[in-house]
């Protein structure tokens, strides 16, 4: 086609790209604004209040980062699989099992292990998470068992197992219902800015994102898995083993999700409790989708959703706007992140021949 109207300056494609990246979130904000208008609130005021509540002071910012911490892990875990074309929705389950595993190590190992308990707990959490997602990985690679259904089902199994453990064998004797004992003080992750709950898990999360970026950009397996996601036929033709790649990304995803659960257990709650994860796995999915699996985008997205979560609570307290607004925004982001943006771009470019 001859009518390719190339953008006049170099800034336009960049603008266009960032618009397309931000599009799902903009739609979600618009939906949220419409709802706020219906109930007679000024959306700009509410959003301004939310922004102030999430970043207005050091204390508020650290609360936001604290809320973003588990999302760093779950979104990386999701992105690892999504970029390979594996629809793993089982991050939530691996996160929960990682949490209970880390908590178990944290209160079971004798105190004289000292701070060595922390890496041990993390290692066990990662191991359990990896083993957990190895199951659907193997089933998909060997028997072509649909990974969406298997991971979805495994989530419920994970909830059942952890719910059983926390109400049975691992139930705390002192604290009543649905919680395990607290992990030893030496096994708790240090707080970074003491009054807030921001803990060293955030650093671990950033390291995980960095490792993910390295894997994506600098390792053969990271490149191969992207090829598999791009086209399985092409990948097979150039000699990449599809089953091995599927199992690898599933195990990596479980490992990261398990670490995330461990960080949440050791750093945030200091134990495992019923309702350990209010859907971090699914919010992580929204983040990964919004970020289009890019490492930098994952950090931004996690902080964004962390901000929503941490400011939502205070907004509910001060202005009578239900916290559920956050869920509405999250759900809208998920839906519109997968809507094909075919014709929705700022600058029309007819590249298609």
What tokens were used for 256? Answer: 């990261």
Q: Token pair 């102030």 is at which residue?
A: 52
Note whether 333 binds another protein by CB under 8 A.
yes
What's the burial of 125, exposed, middle or buried (CB within 10 Å: 0-12/13-18/19+)? buried
Q: Does 213 bind another protein (CB under 8 A)?
A: no
Q: Residue 93 is encoded by which pair of tokens? A: 């389950």
Residue 202 or 282 having the CB closest to another protein: 282
Closest CA to 288 of 297, 279, 280: 297
What is the distance between the alpha carbons of residues 315 and 335, in angstroms, rounded to a whole number?
Answer: 25
Closest CA to 94 of 62, 61, 126: 126
Residues numbered 68 to 87 that lie near another protein (CB under 8 A) are 87
Interacting residue with another protein among 190, 243, 278, 322 (CB under 8 A):
322
How far does CA 125 lie from the centroid of its chain? 16
Applying CB under 8 A, does 153 fall inside the site for another protein?
yes
Alpha-carbon gap, residue 256 to 204, rounded angstroms: 11
Q: Where are the beta strands (DSSP E) in the chain?
A: none
Q: How far apart are CA 174 and CA 190, in angstroms?
A: 24
Using CB under 8 A as the binding rule, whether residue 143 contacts another protein is answered as yes
> Rounded to an integer, what is the distance from CA 111 to the centroid of its chain?
32
Residues 6+ apart with CB under 8 A from 251: 130, 133, 134, 137
CB under 8 A: which stretch of 13-21, 63-71, 123-131, 278-286 binds another protein? 278-286
Q: Which of 342, 351, 352, 353 binds another protein (CB under 8 A)?
A: 342
Among 97, 247, 289, 290, indicate the residue that binds another protein (CB under 8 A).
Answer: 289
Q: Tokens 């207005």: give the residue.
A: 56
DSSP 265: I
Does 339 participate in binding another protein (rule CB under 8 A)?
yes
| Per CB under 8 A, 30 contacts another protein | no
Choose which of 30, 51, 58, 149 interacts with another protein (CB under 8 A): 149
235 and 113 Cβ atoms separated by less than 8 Å: no
Sketch the per residue contact string, 103 through 132, with another protein: x for CB under 8 A, - otherwise: ------------------------------
**Per CB under 8 A, does 142 bind another protein?**
yes
**Position 275 contacts another protein (CB under 8 A):** no
The stretch near another protein (CB under 8 A) out of 100-108, 119-127, 181-189, 283-291 is 283-291
- The correct pick among 144, 218, 233, 348 for binding another protein (CB under 8 A) is 144
Q: Given candidates 50, 60, 69, 330, which one binds another protein under the rule CB under 8 A?
A: 330
Q: Near another protein by CB under 8 A, which window of 1-9, 107-115, 191-199, 324-332? A: 324-332
Side-chain half-sphere of 86: how many Cα atoms within 13 Å? 39
Residue 3 or 320 having the CB closest to another protein: 320
Task: Please identify, among the stretches 63-71, 238-246, 302-310, 335-343, the one whose residues bind another protein according to the rule CB under 8 A.
Answer: 335-343
Instruction: Verify binding: residue 29, another protein, rule CB under 8 A.
Output: no
Asked if 321 is part of the footprint of another protein (rule: CB under 8 A), the reply reads: yes
| 199 three-state secondary structure | strand
The whole-angstrom separation of Cα 287 and Cα 308 is 12
How many residues at the interface with another protein, by CB under 8 A?
51
Regarding 167 and contact with another protein (CB under 8 A), the answer is: yes
Find the helix or strand (DSSP H, E) in which 348 lies. none
Query: Would you say 152 or 193 has its CB closer to another protein?
Result: 152
DSSP code, position 179: B
Give residues in contact with another protein (CB under 8 A): 35, 39, 87, 89, 139, 142-146, 148-150, 152-154, 156-157, 159-161, 163-164, 167-168, 279, 282, 285-286, 289, 320-335, 337-340, 342
């Amino acid at each position: 086609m001859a009518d390719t109207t190339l953008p006049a300056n170099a800034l336009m494609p960049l603008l266009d790209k960032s618009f397309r990246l931000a599009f799902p979130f903009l739609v979600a904000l618009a939906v949220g604004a419409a709802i706020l208008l219906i109930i007679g609130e000024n959306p700009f005021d509410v959003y301004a209040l939310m922004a102030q509540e999430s970043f207005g002071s050091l204390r508020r910012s650290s609360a936001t980062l604290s809320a973003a911490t588990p999302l760093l892990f779950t979104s990386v875990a999701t992105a690892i699989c999504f970029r390979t074309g594996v629809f793993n929705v089982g991050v939530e389950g691996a996160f929960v099992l990682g949490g209970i595993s880390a908590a178990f190590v944290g209160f079971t190992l004798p105190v004289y292990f000292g701070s060595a308990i922390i890496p041990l707990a993390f290692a066990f959490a990662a191991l359990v998470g990896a083993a957990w997602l190895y199951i659907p990985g193997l089933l998909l690679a060997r028997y072509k068992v649909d990974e969406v259904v298997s991971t979805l089902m495994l989530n419920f199994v994970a909830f059942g197992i952890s719910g059983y453990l926390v109400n049975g064998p691992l139930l705390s004797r002192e604290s009543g219902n649905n919680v395990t004992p607290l992990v030893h003080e030496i096994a708790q992750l240090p707080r970074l800015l003491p009054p807030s709950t921001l803990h060293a898990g955030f650093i671990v999360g950033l390291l995980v994102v960095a490792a993910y970026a390295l894997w994506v950009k600098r390792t053969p397996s990271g490149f191969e898995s992207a090829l598999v996601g791009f086209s399985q036929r092409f990948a097979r033709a150039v000699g990449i083993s599809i089953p091995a790649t599927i199992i690898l990304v599933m195990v990596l995803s479980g490992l990261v999700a398990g670490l995330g659960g461990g960080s949440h257990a050791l750093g945030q709650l200091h134990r495992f409790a019923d309702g350990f994860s209010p859907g971090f796995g699914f919010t992580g999915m929204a983040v990964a989708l919004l970020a289009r699996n890019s490492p930098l985008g994952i950090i931004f997205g996690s902080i964004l959703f962390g901000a929503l979560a941490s400011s939502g609570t205070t907004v509910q307290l001060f202005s009578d706007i239900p916290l559920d607004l956050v869920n509405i925004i999250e759900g809208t982001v998920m839906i519109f992140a997968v809507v094909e943006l075919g014709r929705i771009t700022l600058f029309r470019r007819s590249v298609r021949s």
